[in-house]
């Protein structure tokens, strides 16, 4: 069986290993301050610093925006994996859509012909629309903002980082050549070593220095051009930011429209009137628009009051007349005695006035601070 092994050029491999070792030594000596270092010019340093700041903040902005769009970290990791394997993301049901489905199902079980069931269904349908608006917002925001910024980080910034790394290597090589030239000059006038005269060693070192200087200058210009391009990239990011804001404005407007429509639909629905039981007979009645209710002891004196804005049902009028309640256009009131039902009922109290007795809704009564001087 023939096995094709990769072809290694041992000479180049040894050369690269030696170059790497010399760079490590050079870098260590620079950190220890035992050798000179070629410094970049001020303009290059400013460009490099701006690039570092741009990279750091862009990464943070992308991360924060994705956290807002997709709060669940597990979902973000899953989306990242699907992007890397070039596969479409799964369709997820959002929390709003979960709520919508449960509301619609509950409304069906409670009875879609009954007010509460009908209201639940309408609210659930509105929540479904909000969920769809949210899906559209997340997708559009990714296309117009987070994806371009991530593409910048994975494309342009990676290229800049790569070229800056090459430039650092060229600088280390240049400094190593400068040290060899300095060392060769110090050897002039001494005996030749390894059959190479000090003059020849100096000439070779200077030749290597010129080559290293040319490669460093060339790489420095390439890196500067890339760093200058960050200004253009930031102008593009500004356009992406405007697009993101427009997407947010559209999203919140859509949500506001959905909720306003839901309010109008709920307002049109007929709300049920409470059923009052007086002397074993059911009577329809409408609650007052503003009353105060307090718990009371046995034989407490209370007043029944309705605002002038309250729509008075005919049957409720008859009920009030049964209790000798006189009313005008401003208010309706009378004084009756009430006691708690046995067992206690949260909605009704037992009322008595003369020979009249029965149940009255708590919401219709207001406690009097002092007992009035009345004879019943």
| Total Cβ atoms within 10 A of residue 227 | 21
Pick from 210, 209, 212: which is nearest to 220 by CA?
212
- 23-27, 73-77, 168-172, 177-181: the lowest-pLDDT one: 23-27
Token pair recorded at residue 264: 């109008």
Token pair recorded at residue 110: 């409670």
pLDDT, one tens digit per residue, over 87-132 is 777 778 888 899 999 999 999 999 888 999 999 999 999 999 999 9
Q: Give the torsion sign (CA, 227, 229, 231, 233).
A: negative
| Total Cβ atoms within 10 A of residue 223 | 25
> Which residues lie below 8 Å from residue 63, measured CB to CB, with a gap of 6+?
none
pLDDT at 70 over 60: yes
> Which residues lie below 8 Å from residue 124, measured CB to CB, with a gap of 6+?
99, 100, 101, 102, 103, 104, 107
- How confident is the model over 59-77, as a mean pLDDT? 87
> What percentage of the chain carries pLDDT values higher than 90?
42
> What percentage of the chain carries pLDDT values higher than 70?
68
CA 346 remoteness from chain centre = 43
Residue 127 CA to residue 135 CA, distance in Å, equals 12
Name the residue with higher pLDDT: 201 or 374: 201
219 — pLDDT class (breaks 50, 70, 90) = very high
Residue 136 CA to residue 142 CA, distance in Å, equals 10
Predicted confidence at residue 27, as pLDDT, reads 67
Pick from 299, 311, 306, 282: which is nearest to 363 by CA?
306
Q: How many residues does the chain have?
A: 376
Residue 23 contacts residue 172 (beta carbons within 8 Å): yes
Query: Rounded mean pLDDT of the chain?
Result: 78
Predicted confidence at residue 297, as pLDDT, reads 41
Residue 20 CA to residue 18 CA, distance in Å, equals 5
Burial of 124 (0-12, 13-18, 19+ CB in 10 A): buried
Single pTM value for the model = 0.61
CATH entry, 17-189+196-271, from 3.40.220.10, 1.20.1270.60, 1.20.81.30, 3.40.50.2020: 1.20.1270.60
Domain spans, the chain: 17-189+196-271, 335-366
- 18-32, 81-95, 258-272, 306-320: the lowest-pLDDT one: 306-320
Pick from 56, 269, 290, 244: which is nearest to 138 by CA?
244
DSSP conformation class of 343:
S
Predicted confidence at residue 329, as pLDDT, reads 37
The dihedral over CA atoms of 273, 275, 278, 283, expressed in degrees to the nearest 10, equals 60
Name the residue with higher pLDDT: 87 or 325: 87
Predicted confidence at residue 12, as pLDDT, reads 58
Helix ranges, the chain (H)? 10-32, 42-69, 73-84, 95-110, 115-141, 147-152, 158-186, 198-228, 230-268, 314-322
Of 11-15, 313-317, 321-325, the range with the highest mean pLDDT is 11-15
Q: What is the DSSP string of 272-309?
A: PPPEEEETTEEEE----SS-------TTEEEEEEEETT
Q: What is the DSSP string of 10-46?
A: HHHHHHHHHHHHHHHHHHHHHHHT-S--PPPPHHHHH
pLDDT at 369 over 70: no
Token pair recorded at residue 356: 């009249």
pLDDT, one tens digit per residue, over 327-339 is 443 444 566 777 8
């Amino acid at each position: 069986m023939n096995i094709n092994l990769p072809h290694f050029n041992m000479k180049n491999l040894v050369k690269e290993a030696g170059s790497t070792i010399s760079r490590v030594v050079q870098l260590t000596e620079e950190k220890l301050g035992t050798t000179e270092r070629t410094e970049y010019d001020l303009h290059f340093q400013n460009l490099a610093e701006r690039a570092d700041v741009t990279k750091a903040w862009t990464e943070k902005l992308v991360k924060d925006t994705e956290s807002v769009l997709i709060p669940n970290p597990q979902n973000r990791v899953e989306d990242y994996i699907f992007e890397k394997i070039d596969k479409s993301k799964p369709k997820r049901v959002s929390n709003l859509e979960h709520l919508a489905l449960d509301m619609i199902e509950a409304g069906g079980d409670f009875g879609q012909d009954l007010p509460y069931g009908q209201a639940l269904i309408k609210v659930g349908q509105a929540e479904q629309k909000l969920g769809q608006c949210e899906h559209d917002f997340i997708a559009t925001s990714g296309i117009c903002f987070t994806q371009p910024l991530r593409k910048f980080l994975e494309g342009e910034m990676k290229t800049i980082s790569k070229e800056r790394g090459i430039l650092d290597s060229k600088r280390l090589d240049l400094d190593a050549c400068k040290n060899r030239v300095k060392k060769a000059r110090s050897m002039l006038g001494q005996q030749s070593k390894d059959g190479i005269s000090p003059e020849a060693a100096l000439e070779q070192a200077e030749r290597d220095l010129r080559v290293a200087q040319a490669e460093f200058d060339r790489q420095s210009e390439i890196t500067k051009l890339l760093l200058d391009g960050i200004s253009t990239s930031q102008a593009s990011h500004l356009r992406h930011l405007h697009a993101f804001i427009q997407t947010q404005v559209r999203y919140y407007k859509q949500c506001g429209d959905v909720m306003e429509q839901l309010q109008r639909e709920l307002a049109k629905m007929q709300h049920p009137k409470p059923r009052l039981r007086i002397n074993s007979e059911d009577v329809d009645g409408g609650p007052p628009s503003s009353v105060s209710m307090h718990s009371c002891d046995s034989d407490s004196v209370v007043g029944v009051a309705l605002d002038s804005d309250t729509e008075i049902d005919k049957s409720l009028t008859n009920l009030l007349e049964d209790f000798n309640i006189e009313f005008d256009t401003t208010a309706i009131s009378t004084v009756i005695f009430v006691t708690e039902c046995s067992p206690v009922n949260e909605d009704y109290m037992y009322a008595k006035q003369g020979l009249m007795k029965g149940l009255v809704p708590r919401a219709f009564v207001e406690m009097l601070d002092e007992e009035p001087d009345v004879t019943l």
